[in-house]
Structure formats: C-alpha cells, structure tokens
Amino acid sequence: MGIALWLICGVVSFVIARLIPFARRKPWAELAVTLIVALLLGVLATTLDFGGWNEPDWRAGLFAFFGSFAAAGIVRALQSAGKSNGGRS
C-alpha cells in the first residue's frame, strides 16, 4: 500500500510539473525520473522510520511528492541548459 502511495505521488508531481510550460520537452524522461525518485525517497522514508511499503503514511507521501517534484525541476533545468548551449551539454 505504501509503494502505491509513493507511485501516485510521483505521478501527481509529474502531472503538475507538466502544467508548467517552461522547458517542457521530453515527457518520458521526466516521468521516469519522477517515479524513480519517488520510489527511492519512499524507501528512504521507510529507513527513517516514517511510513513503509506496507502502510501508507502521509509524511512519506509528502516526502516522495516534493522530492520527485524537485527532480522534475532538475530535469527541466538540465534540458533547458542543454538547449541554450546549442544542444551541447
């Protein structure tokens, strides 16, 4: 149940990030990054003893949501920097 919460938080952060038009390019890379970061932060929340993969916890959900939203911003910043250099990164 907790893993489902982390994945839902990752998808929600991806959808909200897609509403922001700045540097919106490749949706699949952004989706993959948000889901992977949400899962990793969910596992980190489990090791920090709030939440877990068996039980949904709102603190772990917020941790996964905000972390994956920040990761989407980092992907956008890297894509924007790569385009401003003429495609050379």
Residue 19 lies in a domain: yes
Total number of domains constituting the chain: 1
Per the structure, the complete domain to which residue 69 belongs is given by 2-84
pLDDT at 82: 73
pLDDT in tens, the chain (89 residues): 888 999 999 999 999 988 888 777 778 888 999 999 999 999 999 898 887 777 888 899 999 999 999 999 898 888 888 766 655 54
- C-alpha radius of gyration, the chain, whole number: 14
Whether 23 and 76 have beta carbons less than 8 Å apart is answered as yes
Residue 88: its pLDDT value, please?
56
For residue 34, give both structure tokens. Answer: 């948000």
**Considering the domain boundaries, does residue 89 fall inside one?**
no
pTM: 0.83
pLDDT (0 to 100) of residue 85: 63
pLDDT of residue 29: 85
